[in-house]
Structure 1
Amino acid sequence: MDAMRRAGSEIARLAGRQLDLVSFWREASDVLGHAVPHYLSPCWYTVDPASLLITSHFQEGLPEFPEEWLTAEYFADDVHKLTDVSRSADGVSTLLDATGGDPSTSPRWRANMEYGADQEMIAALRTRSGEVWGAVGLYREPGRPLFDAAELAFVRAVAPHLAEGARRALLVGEAQDPERPEAPGLLVLRENGAVESVTPGTERWLDDLPDGGAGRLPSSVLAVAVRALRSAPDPGDPGEVAMSRVLSRSGRWVVLHGASLVSSGERRAAVIVELAHPARISPLLMSAYGLTEREQEVTRLVLQGDSTTEIASALVVSAHTVQQHLKSVFDKTGVRSRRDLVGKIFFTHYEPRVRDNERRAVNGQPLRGGPFTSPR
């Protein structure tokens, strides 16, 4: 238990550092191995919170996720899929439990066995506010002890820290990505409000915020930094990401993200400034398929695994109305079923992001979240 407590504190500390995503996964993998022994290395994923579809995969020794595994994830009739675990109340599951104690009934288990793994644990990386930013899979080879209740409880407890670390790493990566159009601005502030560092191009964001410019730091930036620091009174706890939505001088809505940085010295806060945009899946669905706003809402909920009854309840419409919207969505996207819809959206718009991120990981470039914005 002492090893688990130390590992939990270390993962919380890692989540508050200004790490790129691959570095965060690597360091978190080392810590996890001391608390929950496992086979080979963890399998890390990021997902799009708007759709719960995979946007990146990282595992030491497996630079490219096998195409047949992605096909099974989105087309096969099986259990223990990432979306199912992400939607579950507990957020942590084993393949043994998902199969009622007989994993040999699952094609997923047979695929794992080909790689030498018998047991599988999957945990959704869900923030305290409920957004899922990724998942992690841990494995054990045949003959090893089963994942026990204490290990499941530990992974459940550190999952929010892993989620926050992934979320911050993606934001920092986008702010430092010179290839991204209108890259977000990133600045690091000391506890007294002094600027420690800024990324190129941040000044234009600050100048466009109310009461910014002429060397002045906008009050909205200071406010979100203070909120982030207050959410982490313990120097070893990264706290929560503070957010604020501000109307810029140019008339555009801008979102500020503030995060406390964990370090052994003076407390600091990172503030990221970016354009506000709806969930990225919505403009993609509109431009690619011409879906109406309500059809986009229905599709987003289908991607997240909601049933007809759940969609009807969320949108306050009848089940019959949901079915009518689904028929229109199927016609416009050229599919015949929900599963085909999910598969088409993933392989057209998300699988290219997964493959691009695999290449970026190998080349040491920042990983990107969200789907490609145009069909392949």
Structure 2
Amino acid sequence: MKSALEQGRTSITSLEKGSWTSRTYREAVLKAIHAVVPYDAYCFTTVDPQTLLSTGAVTEDGIEAIHDRLFINEYTEDDVHKYADLIRSNKPIALLQASIHAMPERSLRYRSILQPAGFRDELRAVLICDETCWGYLTLYRKADQPFFSEEEGQWIEEWTTSIARMLKRTSLSLMDEIKQGSPADPGLIMITDTFQLLSSNDSAQYWLTQLQRLELVGPDILPRPVRAVSSHLLSQTLSSAVSSELSAKSPSKVCIQLLDGRYLVLHASRMQQMTGPDQIAVRLEQAMPQDLLPLFAESHGLSVRERELLGYVLRSYSSKEIAAAMNISAYTVQDHLKSIFAKTSVYSRRELIWYFVSRFQLKDDRAV
């Protein structure tokens, strides 16, 4: 008769032979784990391996109800077992009660979020394949259930490589799921320099309708984001007419979140006519999770070094750790941070993290 460890390993690894979408695979993993390691609630999140930002979660109502507080805690509060900390420490598994049972004050997440919601313990796993993280798995037990045991944690750790490998394999299907319902081709519209619509393709008409719904305007109104990127293009054109420093120009691009959670990128460029006045072309297409952080950084004019530093901030690095990673002084770190604060109109590292991270809650089911 198979041990619980062997039973779980067989159940998890056998899933690698199936044909799955990202969501159906995660649902199957949760079912297989529950047969060996019981839990009362869960959150199974895929992440962009470059930024560690969530690309959607399979979760349930008990956790969805405290989603916002967990999200804020993860990115803006000091606490134990942060996902980014687990990745850096090369310890893929963390048991909450095993760490805090003698000192519950060590975890704000436990005191102010989990315990009031009726949860007693939490098991966290970071899912790493080929030294790259593809997701987080978090299991919860209610107040009337036993703590997660060290043995159960070891079992989950045994299975993380297989799970991460499948998250990597199904990442392309996740992108297809996120794009479901969106046009396959990019939208393209042509407008005059006074913002009169001249022509558009079917994809552009679809995205214009989404923007008009967002702004609560009629079909005869050109949405503000279109006018905004076009105005930026015109201002850049005027500035280049009096200056030859074309390298200083920033792209006429904006990223907008629609009502259903999707992100739309608009990019304006000037079309030089052989005869007659020039026209403005605006390209509209859905942004993918891996595109969003660079887009937001670009839209705020962050330098290459500032973008690099922002990446470390989002991974919860301290100023000292950032200085070591970037081979700069702690004073230079603070100078970069002050510049980023000014460009994004925030006043602290906590506000900066929340400003960026709160925009990346893309959903493939219900996101955490």
The TM tier, using the shorter chain, reads 0.5 to 0.7
Aligned amino acid, residue 43 of structure 2: C
Supply the distance in 2 between the matched residues of 1:105 and 1:316 (Cα, whole angstroms): 32
Alignment partner of 1:303 out of 303, 314, 317: 314
SS of aligned partner of 1:80: coil
Does residue 361 of the first structure (1) align with residue 365 of the second (2)? yes
* Superposition TM-score, scaled by structure 1 size: 0.62
Q: Distance in 2 between matches of 1:16 and 1:306?
A: 38
Q: 1:178–1:291: structure 2 CA closer, same or farther, 3 Å change rule? A: same
Q: Calculate percent identity across the aligned residue pairs.
A: 30
Q: Is the 8 A contact 2:23 2:174 kept in 1?
A: no
Residue 137, structure 1, aligned to residue 138, structure 2: yes
Instruction: Count residues in correspondence.
Output: 261
Q: Does 1:125 find its partner at 2:135?
A: no
**Pair 323,141 (structure 1): closer, same or farther in 2 beyond 3 Å:** same
Question: Residues 134 and 341 (structure 1 numbering): CA distance in 2 closer, same or farther, change over 3 Å?
Answer: same
How far residue 91 of structure 1 moved from its aligned partner, in angstroms, is: 1.6
User: In 2, distance between residues paired with 1:104 and 1:291?
Assistant: 38
- The match for 2:360 is 350
Per-residue deviation at 1:174?
2.5
Deviation per CA, 1:185-225, whole angstroms, max 9, x where unpaired? xxxxxxxxxxxxxxxxxxxxxxxxxxxxxxxxxxxxxxxxx
Deviation at 1:320, TM superposition (A): 2.3
- Counterpart residue number, 1:271: none
Question: Partners in 2 of 1:180 and 1:126 — Cα distance?
Answer: 31
Query: Offset of 1:292 from its aligned partner?
Result: 0.6
Is the counterpart of residue 326 in structure 1 residue 327 in structure 2?
no
Kept in 2: contact 1:282–1:296 (CA 8 A): no
- The more displaced of 288-297 and 323-332 is 323-332
Q: Distance in 1 between matches of 2:173 and 2:35?
A: 28
Distance 1:101 1:85 in 2: 21
Q: C-alpha root-mean-square deviation of aligned residues, in Å?
A: 2.8
Task: Provide the C-alpha distance between the structure 2 equivalents of 1:320 and 1:286, rounded to a whole number of angstroms.
Answer: 22
Q: Deviation string for 1:212-257 (max 9, x for gaps)? A: xxxxxxxxxxxxxxxxxxxxxxxxxxxxxxxxxxxxxxxxxxxxxx
Partner Cα distance (2:131, 2:73) in 1: 27
- Given that 1:51 and 1:301 are in contact with CA atoms closer than 8 Å, whether structure 2 keeps it comes out as no
Structure with bigger gyration radius: 2
1:263 match: none
Check whether the contact 1:309–1:319 (CA below 8 A) recurs between aligned residues. yes
- Following the alignment from structure 1 to structure 2, what is the Cα–Cα distance between the partners of residues 299 and 305? 10
CA distance in 2: counterparts of 1:49 and 1:74, whole angstroms: 17
Q: What one-letter code is carried by the residue in structure 2 that aligns with 1:46?
A: T
Q: Per-residue deviation at 1:278?
A: 12
SS across alignment from 1:330: helix
Q: Is the contact made by 1:295 and 1:329 (CA closer than 8 Å) also made in structure 2?
A: yes
Deviation at 1:64, TM superposition (A): 4.0
CA distance in 1, matches of 2:311, 2:183: 26
Aligned-residue offset at 1:158: 1.0
Q: 1:278 to 1:159 in 2, by over 3 A?
A: same
Q: How far off its partner does 1:106 sit? A: 3.0
Q: CA deviation at 1:28?
A: 0.7
Change (3 A) 1:107 1:178: closer
TM-aligned CA deviation for residue 131 of structure 1: 1.2
Structure 1: segments with no counterpart, 5+ residues: 184-276, 368-376
Partners of 1:102 and 1:309 in 2: how far apart?
27
Determine if contact 2:56/2:365 at 8 Å carries over to the other structure.
Answer: no
Partner of 1:27: 28
Aligned AA (1:113)? Q
Cross-structure match for 1:50: 50
Equivalence map 1:22-101=2 (5 Å): 22-38=23-39, 40-62=40-62, 64=64, 66-99=67-100, 101=102
Q: What is the TM-score with the length of structure 2 in the denominator?
A: 0.63
Letter in 2 for 1:54: S
Once the two structures are TM-superposed, the CA of residue 178 in structure 1 deviates from its matched residue by: 5.0
Report how far residue 123 of structure 1 moved.
0.8
**For 1:144 and 1:175, how far apart are their aligned partners in 2?**
39
SS in structure 2 at match of 1:361? coil
Hey, what does 2:299 align to over in structure 1? 288
- Give the drift of 1:346: 0.9
